[in-house]
Amino acid sequence: MSERTFPWRTLLFVSVAINLLIVGAAAGAYSAGVRLERAAPPAATALAGPRAMMASLPADTRTKVRDQLARTWAETRALRQSAAQARRDAFDIAATEPFNAASVRSAFARVRSSDDAALAAFHNDMIEALAQMTPEQRQRAIAALRGASPIRRAASRDSVAQPATGAPLQPNAVTPRPRFRETVRERILERRERRRERQGPTP
């Protein structure tokens, strides 16, 4: 699978709040054989933080870390799917009338729990990678991660800031337009990822 066709945005699906998730997102690219030195399209350029972190690794450990990230990406597939389903369920419950605040609160608690489970393995990989760096390399890597932009959060802000087109929502509408668009987009991206996983990497 080429870097241009890899579903970068899908890899960011797990969490909208934790910037360090981007380290985990990079794992999919590394498992597809993407080289750090290759010129990146705009979507991949947004992952400059984890790329810089990988570049900060000693050459003899970079391959090991990359392979471990790839293994973690494969091993957490079920956890990522569970997190995606928990998020869909939460929105469905929130859109149900009569609105039940306790049920919605419990649903989003399950989202957080699912996100944490999926993120934990990638965070452990990141910690192991940082532990193999010199102090100078570690400071450069941390600075790069701090500067990494949370793509999904920015996209969410843009969608809310822009006025909706077409007819206005009715007073009794239960699903805000930006949230509905985002839910549809997530499902499309998830289906694309499943198709690519079934097809396997392109030689």
**Digit-coded pLDDT (tens) for 16-67:** 333 434 444 444 444 444 444 444 444 444 445 566 667 767 777 778 778 8
- Out of 47-61, 70-84, 136-150, 183-197, pick the least confident: 47-61
Q: Is residue 173 part of a domain?
A: no
- Residue 61 falls inside a structural domain: yes
Is residue 169 in some structural domain?
no
CA dist 191 → 35, 140, 143 (Å): 26, 36, 34
Task: Give domain status of residue 2, yes or no.
Answer: no
Distance CA 162, CA 43 (A): 21
The domain containing residue 86 runs over which residues?
A: 8-156+178-199
Domain assignment present for residue 166? The answer is no
Residue 46: the pLDDT is 43
Q: Is 29 exposed, middle or buried (0-12, 13-18, 19+ CB in 10 A)?
A: buried
The total number of structural domains in the chain stands at 1
For residues 87 and 68, what is the distance between their CA atoms, to the nearest angstrom? 27
Output the pLDDT for position 148.
58
Q: pLDDT tens digits for 86-96? A: 999 999 999 99
Q: Is residue 138 part of a domain?
A: yes
Residue 108 lies in a domain: yes
